């Protein structure tokens, strides 16, 4: 099905495309002879941007579009305090069948390639039998792997795009591997990498997989990815015979404490060197990505400072210190 990017729509264009309904409000007609009738004011979006739209004639519609729906629409771009689509035809699409990449931003690297890289870590670097069994019990499961490869790492802060979870996980793996090189006597590579690979697995249930805008699932809001991840770990370990108790304890602790502080959602703070290292690897990956995303959001030619970011609580200075470096 045809797809025009919203960013490219101009006044005067004919439109025939798919879009995500971001907002949908009714408007009532004031003329007495149209009492009870109404029109729809919509805000439509895709991966490239958003646009206003209006649907005047709703009389014959069986089912009205709702926030979160994907629709097919046909119409014209007019100007009403900026461009606005006057919709001539509208119908809902099956969200399972649309091309999600039309609506969701994706990581720069191909998720399949990143997944291959992750599996290579498991195959080549993890020799410990129980750790290897544990990791394979996750990544040999097709549905888990599919969702893991598509999930974002966060909703609004860092790695907030499809494949972001995978990208973030690979980054945390790298940083952990680096920490082992700094403290080889204290950190065990295989254990730390296992923690790195699994620390955010709960995220695949924290986001509503049906949502094209990375909305949290109910369970994500009520249980959270840390406790979901702990539950997924329990389930897998319970299926592995004679999994060492002490090893389970360490892995549980790593997942539960990886946010580092109670205020940040970890029910316990890191009390082992592996949990402490994992927390810092996660922190560094998340924070640098967050900073770089803000830098990249700046509209070009708009001065040396980004806009204020409420998560980082600052603007960023972008001017290069010297060009030749």
Residue ranges in 32-51 that form contacts with a copy of itself under rule CB under 8 A: 32, 35
- Closest separation between CB of residue 220 and a copy of itself, Å? 10
- Closest separation between CB of residue 84 and a copy of itself, Å? 9
Of 25, 29, 51, which Cα lies nearest the Cα of 40?
25
Q: Where are the alpha helices (DSSP H) in the chain?
A: 111-125, 129-139, 142-150, 164-182, 189-198, 203-206, 218-222, 224-238, 245-256, 273-297
Tokens 């990143």: give the residue. Answer: 114
Pick from 97, 182, 242, 299: which binds a copy of itself (CB under 8 A)?
Answer: 182
Pick from 106, 136, 223, 240: which binds a copy of itself (CB under 8 A)?
Answer: 223
Pick from 101, 141, 178, 239: which binds a copy of itself (CB under 8 A)?
Answer: 178
User: Cα separation of 278 and 224, whole Å?
Assistant: 19
- Closest separation between CB of residue 1 and a copy of itself, Å? 27
Q: Please tell me whether residue 202 binds a copy of itself under the rule CB under 8 A.
A: no
Give 204-272 as a 3 state SS string.
HHHECCCCCCCCECHHHHHCHHHHHHHHHHHHHHHCCCCCCHHHHHHHHHHHHCCCCCHHHCCCCCCCC
Which residues sit opposite 73 in a β-bridge? 17, 90
Of 285, 281, 276, 279, which Cα lies nearest the Cα of 186?
276
User: Cα separation of 43 and 173, whole Å?
Assistant: 40
Question: How many helices, marked H, and strands, marked E, lie in the chain?
Answer: 10, 5
- Which residues does 111 contact at the CB level (< 8 Å), separation at least 6? 149, 150, 162, 163, 166
Helix 189-198 to helix 273-297 angle, to the nearest 10 degrees? Answer: 50
- Which residues does 112 contact at the CB level (< 8 Å), separation at least 6? 149
Q: Please tell me whether residue 78 binds a copy of itself under the rule CB under 8 A.
A: yes
Pick from 125, 133, 291, 298: which binds a copy of itself (CB under 8 A)?
Answer: 291
**Rg of the chain over all Cα atoms, to the nearest angstrom:** 24
Q: Among residues 12 and 209, whose Cβ is nearest to a copy of itself?
A: 12
Q: Among residues 7 and 262, whose Cβ is nearest to a copy of itself?
A: 262
Pick from 7, 141, 295, 308: which binds a copy of itself (CB under 8 A)?
Answer: 295
Q: Please tell me whether residue 191 binds a copy of itself under the rule CB under 8 A.
A: yes
Binding mask 229-268 for a copy of itself (x = CB under 8 A): -xx--x---------x-xx-xx-xx--x-----xxxxxxx
**Which residues ranging from 4 to 33 are in contact with a copy of itself (CB under 8 A)?**
10-12, 27-32
Q: Please tell me whether residue 155 binds a copy of itself under the rule CB under 8 A.
A: no
Q: Please tell me whether residue 222 binds a copy of itself under the rule CB under 8 A.
A: yes
Q: Among residues 39 and 72, whose Cβ is nearest to a copy of itself?
A: 39
Give the interface segment with a copy of itself, choosing from 16-24, 87-95, 132-140, 271-279 (CB under 8 A).
Answer: 271-279
Q: Please tell me whether residue 280 binds a copy of itself under the rule CB under 8 A.
A: yes
Number of residues this chain uses to bind a copy of itself (CB under 8 A): 82
| Token pair recorded at residue 207 | 């986001």
| Token pair recorded at residue 261 | 């502080």
Q: Please tell me whether residue 64 binds a copy of itself under the rule CB under 8 A.
A: no
Pick from 60, 241, 242, 325: which binds a copy of itself (CB under 8 A)?
Answer: 325
């Amino acid at each position: 099905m045809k797809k025009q990017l919203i960013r490219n729509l101009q006044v005067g264009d004919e439109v025939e495309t798919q879009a995500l309904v971001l907002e949908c409000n009714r408007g009532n007609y004031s003329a007495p002879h149209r009492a009870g009738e109404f029109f729809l004011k919509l805000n439509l979006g895709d991966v490239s941007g958003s646009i206003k739209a209006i649907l005047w004639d709703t009389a014959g519609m069986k089912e009205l579009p709702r926030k979160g729906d994907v629709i097919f629409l046909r119409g014209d771009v007019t100007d009403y305090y900026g461009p606005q689509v006057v919709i001539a035809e509208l119908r809902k699409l099956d969200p399972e069948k649309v091309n999600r990449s039309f609506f969701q931003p994706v990581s720069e690297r191909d998720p399949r390639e990143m997944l291959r890289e992750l599996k290579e870590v498991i195959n080549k670097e993890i020799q410990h039998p129980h750790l290897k069994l544990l990791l394979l019990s996750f990544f040999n499961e097709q549905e888990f792997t599919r969702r893991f490869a598509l999930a974002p790492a966060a909703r609004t802060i860092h790695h907030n795009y499809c494949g972001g979870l995978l990208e973030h996980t690979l980054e945390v793996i790298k940083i952990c591997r680096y920490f082992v090189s700094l403290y080889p006597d204290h950190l065990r590579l295989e254990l730390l990498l296992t923690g790195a690979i699994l620390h955010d697995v709960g995220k695949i249930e924290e986001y509503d997989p049906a949502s094209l805008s990375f909305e949290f699932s109910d369970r994500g809001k009520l249980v959270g990815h840390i406790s979901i991840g702990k539950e997924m770990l329990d389930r897998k370990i319970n299926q592995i015979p004679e999994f060492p108790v002490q090893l389970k304890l360490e892995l549980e602790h790593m997942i539960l404490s990886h946010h580092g502080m109670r205020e940040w959602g970890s029910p316990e703070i890191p009390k082992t060197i592996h949990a402490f290292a994992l927390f810092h690897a996660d922190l560094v990956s998340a924070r640098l990505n967050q900073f770089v995303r803000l830098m990249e959001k700046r509209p070009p030619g708009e001065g040396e400072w980004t806009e204020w970011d409420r998560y980082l609580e600052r603007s960023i200075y972008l001017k290069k210190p010297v060009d030749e470096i």
